[in-house]
Amino acid sequence: MTPPLQSAVAVYPNNAINRPDIPNTHWTAEIALPLRKLMENNPRAQKPSDGIFWRVNFSRVQWGVKVVNGKYEKAPSCQSCANPGQPAEDNWVWSKQGEVKMHLPERWGILQFSGKSTRSRESGEDAEMKYYEEWECRCAAMALYYAQKRFHKEMGLYTDKVELLKQFSIDYFPICEYAKTSILLVDGGFE
């Protein structure tokens, strides 16, 4: 992203970064997001203001390390994997995605902008949470999309039968039993 992001990192205690001889207690990171830049190539993006929703996710990759001759060396040993200890990295996100694939924006968390702080100091009340009206429709569309992809992978074609797709539904986006759904097959795909 141009210009580069502004960020700051601190490791505690002070001067403990990359020093195996000083046990770290914690760390913090701050990032200033260039909101205008993030909106640049999206004509539908709405400027952050009270009640506006954005899809966003933040990820942290953490590699296991070992100390060799007083220095850290990468030693992959995943602790968050299905089988802990395997030679991979740990991936942490603030919003559950169901699998390690950061480039699936439909699975990102929902950020609601507000003109108020999360809790008013004066009244002690929480800021009002708005209802994200598009959520049910988006979830239904994503459920069909993922089920169709799995169906196509196994059967070699797409279907317009929702009943057939139910067994190909994924836990993260189950097919809704109550939605009125129609699928139109088109050349090489579906709508």
pLDDT tens across 76-95, in order?
Answer: 888 888 888 888 888 888 88
What is the distance between the alpha carbons of residues 82 and 78, in angstroms, rounded to a whole number?
Answer: 9
Residue 24 pLDDT exceeds 60 = yes
pTM beyond 0.85, yes or no: no
Q: Give Cα separations from 174 to 25, 141, 153, 171, 187 (angstroms).
A: 41, 10, 18, 6, 26
Q: How confident is the model at residue 20 (pLDDT cuts 50, 70, 90)?
A: very high
Question: 3-state DSSP: the chain helix, strand, coil percent, rounded to 5?
Answer: 20, 25, 55
Question: For 28-64, how does the pLDDT look when each residue is reduced to its tens digit (9 = 90+)?
Answer: 989 888 888 888 888 888 889 888 889 888 888 888 8
The CA-atom distances, in angstroms, between 21 and each of 69, 74, 121 are 11, 17, 42
Task: Select the more confidently predicted residue: 127 or 30.
Answer: 30
Q: Taking 80 as the threshold, does the pLDDT of residue 127 lie above it?
A: no
Rounded Cα distance between 50 and 114, Å, is 4
Q: What is the mean pLDDT of the chain?
A: 85
